Amino acid sequence: MSNSPDGIYEKGIVDPGLPVLNSTKPFWLSEPSKISKLQSPWTDEADFVIIGSGMSAASLARSLYAKRPGLSVVLVEARDLCSGATGRNGGHCKAQSPGDWHARRSKYGVDEAVKIMEFEHRHVRETIAAVAEHRIECDLHVLEGLDAYYDPKVFQHAVSAVMEMRTVAPQLGALYTIYTSRKDLDKRNCSKQVLGAIGMRAASLWPYKFVTGLLAKLVEQGLRIQTNTAVTSITDRDIDPFATVNTTRGVIKAKAVVHATNGWVGHLIPELRPYVSPVRANVQRRLPSPIQPRTNNSWWLRYGEKDYDYMMQRPDGSFIIGRSNTGRRATADDSQVDFLPHTHLRGATPLVHDFGTKDIETTHAWSGPVAFSHDGNQFVGKLPFPGRSHQWVSAAFQGIGMVRAFLSAQLLAHLILDERIPDYYPLSLLITEERLSTLPQPTSKL
């Protein structure tokens, strides 16, 4: 649909197709997991089939086994394990700009806006806890995430949001720290062009190692994984107690099928194409020489409210940098990168961030599909379309899946198992006929 409030790219309805086999090579996949190509013994029946193998799939499988250890769960992935958005992102776990508060409050009211903001912040705590619980080696680094602002109007917009949150929701407002002095900004490695910054608790990690490490633990509990197995179609009849998942390697009957494919979700669910747009994001790993000391910050370089780059430093001194807005294309094809974003990352970024040297090598440049919705929220729940009675979805994370996907999958587990939904979940995430009816639908196709 491509006219989401987040991002600038061509408009139209897009069929993302299946994941391509000649994808660009992200840094995160440079050390493949021992289960990266796992194909478990085949089963023709399962309680759950999860399509996808990224953050959503791993979190959902973890939640299902924690609640019902005896379940039969099969995870199906078209390529190697975790080769989609999670294996191609920026390694950031940080809530979105505090400036988003204004739009969320206006659209949903104070209470729901607070839940949405806290939902993102909760991901930092949940990720840290999951890494510790499962003892996963994934370079987890707890730090202060900064929104660094270059435009006074945009900075003031965010500051006013923090001040308002401190009034109407003190526990939320207290999560943000505003920096305006040159001393504070220099201490946090912000360039001289930065007018001000807003900090919050955040984390960086190797997302591929986090997910594949978690999935390896779940395999020990009975999870079956079928990599390099593309789902071609799903047969779903209301009169049957199951749906039939048709794949390139065989058929699986499942009581429930979960679409956890994010940018590719519209391919198997064409009803979602008017509401979910696949968008190609662009990322690089840049290595300064000499290596600079590691800082205790990550950065979102905000040139405008919806125009920004994100950046975090790795333990080896390299930086992972992503271009988060202009120049992207509405496609799930990650075999190519977009020219303007990658040119920008190579040329403009040293001007807005001090790497400590002008000698910087780009060691990896890649792309990955993310997904956007019209109203800026993901879709979580049972599909409200005819012929989809056994199918569920958790997708469309607006390019910030690190602070949306993990808990969205936990919410989905509550829904699938017909449990009471804890009060802290924002219900505006749920996919319903009523919500879809409020969203505009473009008619053109790309």
CB-facing half-sphere around the CA of 415: CA atoms within 13 A: 25
Q: What is the pLDDT of residue 20?
A: 97
Amino acid at 77: E
Cβ neighbors of 259 (< 8 A, separation 6 or more) are 51, 52, 265, 268, 269, 383, 391, 392, 393, 394, 395
* Under 8 Å between Cβ of 145 and 202: yes
Number of structural domains found in the chain: 1
* Under 8 Å between Cβ of 323 and 303: no
Q: What is the pLDDT of residue 356?
A: 73
Q: Is residue 391 part of a domain?
A: yes
Q: Is residue 259 part of a domain?
A: yes
The domain of 67 spans: 27-87+208-276+375-437
Q: Is residue 237 part of a domain?
A: yes
* Under 8 Å between Cβ of 172 and 118: yes
Cβ neighbors of 136 (< 8 A, separation 6 or more) are 130, 209, 210, 213, 214, 217
Q: Is residue 43 part of a domain?
A: yes
CA distance 175 to 172: 6
CB-facing half-sphere around the CA of 165: CA atoms within 13 A: 30
Q: Is residue 342 part of a domain?
A: no
Q: Residue 80: which H helix or E strand, with range? A: none
Backbone phi, psi, residue 268, to 5°: -85, -15
| pTM over the 0.85 mark | yes
Q: Is residue 284 part of a domain?
A: no
Q: What is the pLDDT of residue 443?
A: 60
Average pLDDT over residues 422-439: 96
| Residue 221: CB atoms within 10 Å | 13
Place of tokens 């959503």: 56
**What CATH number does residue 82 fall under?**
3.50.50.60
pLDDT at position 332 over 80:
yes
pLDDT at position 172 over 70:
yes
pLDDT band (50, 70, 90) for residue 72: very high
Q: Is residue 140 part of a domain?
A: no
User: What digits encode the pLDDT tens for the residues 418-427?
Assistant: 999 999 999 9
pLDDT at position 1 over 50:
no
Q: What is the pLDDT of residue 325?
A: 74
444 or 176: which carries more pLDDT confidence? 176
pLDDT at position 3 over 60:
no
User: What digits encode the pLDDT tens for the residues 183-236?
Assistant: 999 999 998 999 999 999 999 999 999 999 999 999 999 999 999 999 999 999
pLDDT band (50, 70, 90) for residue 78: very high
pLDDT > 90 in the chain, percent: 85
CA distance 142 to 126: 12
Q: What is the pLDDT of residue 236?
A: 97
Closest CA to 198 of 208, 209, 189, 185: 185
* Under 8 Å between Cβ of 117 and 103: no
Q: Is residue 187 part of a domain?
A: no
145 or 351: which carries more pLDDT confidence? 145
**Token pair of 322, please?**
């992503």
CA distance 415 to 69: 17
